[in-house]
Amino acid sequence: MREDRTSGRGRDIVVILTLLGLALFASPFTDWWARASFPWYFPFVLWGLLIALVAVTQILGHGFED
């Protein structure tokens, strides 16, 4: 059997993105950007960026499979 070297890297990226999502949406940092004078759509932009990051990592992760 061949050892899969990308599984460790994939798990690292998942953990990093999860922590990023928690930092943006479930921390005291949320209170800061909610009270700031950002436009009404700012939380949606943050969600969109997080979703785009996940999509890019998924697309790039499939390039390592043989």
Annotated domain spans of the chain: 6-62
CB 20 within 8 A of CB 57: no
The pLDDT of residue 65 is 52
For the beta carbon of residue 52, count every other beta carbon within 10 angstroms.
10
Predicted structure pTM score: 0.67
Report whether pLDDT(12) > 60: yes
Q: What is the pLDDT of residues 14-60, one digit of tens each?
A: 888 888 888 888 888 788 877 888 898 988 998 999 899 888 888 88
Measured distance CA(27)–CA(19) in Å, rounded: 10
The pLDDT of residue 14 is 81
Measured distance CA(34)–CA(51) in Å, rounded: 20
Measured distance CA(39)–CA(37) in Å, rounded: 7
